[in-house]
Amino acid sequence: MKKVKRILAVIGLVLIALMYALTIIFALMKHPDSKNWLMAAIFCTIAVPVIIYAMQFVAKLLPKLSGKDKAEEEKEK
């Protein structure tokens, strides 16, 4: 599992670096939408890791909640 997480982390870093590199390239080309692309890149840099963290947090909580519910049902019987 650690290898999978490490590989996904490296892929994520490469994608973020590529996104910023393309944004800088388009900005140097003086493309009219370069400012919008930079804002999108900054937003994704913040939002995507936060969403991934929230999903992992909820995934960790769900089995615990399910286990407590089963234990409570057994006590009621």
**What is the pLDDT, as a whole number, of residue 75?**
64
Please, what is the angle between helix 2-28 and helix 34-76, to 10°?
160
Please check whether residue 38 is in contact with residue 23, taking contact to mean a CB–CB distance below 8 angstroms. yes
Which residue type, as a one-letter code, is found at position 15? L
Residue spans of the domains in the chain: they are 2-76
- Global pTM? 0.55
Q: What is the pLDDT of residues 38-59, one digit of tens each?
A: 788 788 778 877 888 888 888 8
Spatial distance between the Cα atoms of 57 and 4, rounded to a whole number of angstroms: 18
